[in-house]
Homo-oligomer: A and B are copies of this chain.
Amino acid sequence: MKEHKRATIYDVAADAGVSIATVSRVLRGEKNVAPITLARVEEAIRKHDYRPSDFARGLAGGGVNTVGIVLPRLVNPYYAMLFTGAQEEARSCGYALSMFPWSSLRTPSLDPALLLAERRLAGAVVCVEYLPPEENERLLHSLRRLRRYMPVVLIGCVPTEYDFPGVFQNNAALLKEIVRHLVSLGHERIALVGGLQEDTDPLRRDVGYMEGLREARLPFTESYRVYGTGTPECGREGLCHMLDSLKPSFWPTAVIALNDLVAMGCYAAARDRGLSIPRDLSVFGCDNLVSGPYLGPALSTVDLHQLSIGARAVRMVVNAEDTREEARWDFVLRESCASAPPPRQDIPPDGP
């Protein structure tokens, strides 16, 4: 049953009484094949259940229509959406999409650039995250090397020193806009939960956060900024810890979560501490996950258009475009953000 010897182009050619060149022609859908020949070859293909070998094709043809994509944790729906967008676009362009895990970055021997280089890909889209300086340097280096062999397009939180084409997320501008929105609702104590402490790039979120505060002439309060890893856990613990360390009269009236998952953690923290959203606390998320509208209350967030970003990036490698674009976003205002509450009584956190 298994290990059945696979038919090759020679078997098909012999069966159809033609040369392998002719079989190759019909395989690739060339037009200059006599109808009767075509029919005979197709019949032989069917008979042998023949499928050309991708390896032989790639070797002989000098590559194959595949673009690679390097992505971090797919269990985060944000990345899954980037992938899905890329996949659909690749298919509609007649390309296959091959995924490589980002984690390989941490293992130098599994450097994604090396992995990608082994395949003669049409190009690669790499989703970059902030990294500690040393790893960042290594990644940049290997991407430059990879670029010698194929178009490389970047997406994600790309540090400014990366001189690559791609679709970039200007998180600083985004955060500034979120702060501005909350300020317009009257909030003056705005927390930021879940950002990565190691961020070193000017486009990072907390730079934008601080700029937003400055613009509104609000003080930057260290206690209002807590770091985390982007999980619901870090949102819950981060916010609980913040609340517990502060007298209730200093509690923030709004919190910006790194993403919707962190925002869910903040919802839990609010419940833990008896705060009602949005009456006592406004929560603003990011990513526009599918579950957002179904939370209680429905989550205000921002749609980052992940599907479009993935699709756009693929198109850029396919067309070998060399542009740097900024990702658009749209606010999705629902019920988790409201006007700032009046100054709070100084009641114990475990009160009523």
Whether, in the assembled complex, A293 has its beta carbon less than 8 Å from a beta carbon of chain B, the answer is yes
Contact B232 A290 (CB under 8 A): yes
- A55-B58, A101-B87 known; A145+B49 contact, CB < 8 A: yes
Contacts of A4 in B (CB 8 A): 148-149
Within 8 A of B (CB), among A316-352: 320
Within 8 A of B (CB), among A268-317: 268, 271, 290-291, 293-296, 298
Within 8 A of B (CB), among A226-271: 231-232, 235-236, 261, 264-265, 267-268, 271
Contact A51 B117 (CB under 8 A): yes
Whether, in the assembled complex, A136 has its beta carbon less than 8 Å from a beta carbon of chain B, the answer is no
Whether, in the assembled complex, A106 has its beta carbon less than 8 Å from a beta carbon of chain B, the answer is no
Contacts of A149 in B (CB 8 A): 2-4, 6
Interface stretch (choices A73-81, A178-186, A200-208):
A73-81
Contact B54 A118 (CB under 8 A): yes
Whether, in the assembled complex, A112 has its beta carbon less than 8 Å from a beta carbon of chain B, the answer is no
Contact B294 A2 (CB under 8 A): no
Whether, in the assembled complex, A138 has its beta carbon less than 8 Å from a beta carbon of chain B, the answer is no
A143-155 vs B: 1/0 string, CB under 8 Å? Answer: 0010111110000
Contacts of A39 in B (CB 8 A): none
Whether, in the assembled complex, A40 has its beta carbon less than 8 Å from a beta carbon of chain B, the answer is no
- A236-B294, A294-B232 known; A2+B55 contact, CB < 8 A: no
Which range holds the interface residue count of chain A?
35 or more
Contacts of A36 in B (CB 8 A): none
Q: How far is the CB of A77 from chain B (nearest CB, A)?
A: 6
Contacts of A148 in B (CB 8 A): 1-2, 4, 49
Contacts of A231 in B (CB 8 A): 290
Contact A264 B51 (CB under 8 A): no
Whether, in the assembled complex, A168 has its beta carbon less than 8 Å from a beta carbon of chain B, the answer is no
Contact A59 B49 (CB under 8 A): no
Contact A83 B87 (CB under 8 A): no
Contacts of A265 in B (CB 8 A): 294
Whether, in the assembled complex, A52 has its beta carbon less than 8 Å from a beta carbon of chain B, the answer is yes
Whether, in the assembled complex, A37 has its beta carbon less than 8 Å from a beta carbon of chain B, the answer is no
Q: How far is the CB of A116 from chain B (nearest CB, A)?
A: 9
Within 8 A of B (CB), among A138-179: 145, 147-151
Whether, in the assembled complex, A114 has its beta carbon less than 8 Å from a beta carbon of chain B, the answer is yes
Q: Can you list 29 residue pairs at the A/B interface with Cβ under 8 Å? A: A2-B150, A2-B320, A4-B149, A49-B145, A51-B114, A51-B117, A54-B58, A54-B118, A55-B55, A55-B57, A55-B119, A59-B59, A74-B84, A75-B80, A75-B81, A75-B290, A80-B80, A98-B98, A98-B99, A231-B290, A232-B290, A232-B294, A261-B291, A264-B291, A267-B296, A268-B293, A268-B298, A295-B295, A296-B296
Q: Which 3 A-B pairs have the closest CB atoms?
A: A55-B58, A268-B294, A55-B59
Known A-B contacts: A55-B120, A80-B80. Give 19 more (CB < 8 A): A2-B148, A2-B149, A3-B149, A6-B149, A49-B145, A52-B118, A53-B59, A54-B119, A55-B55, A55-B57, A74-B74, A75-B80, A75-B81, A77-B80, A261-B290, A261-B291, A264-B291, A264-B295, A271-B296
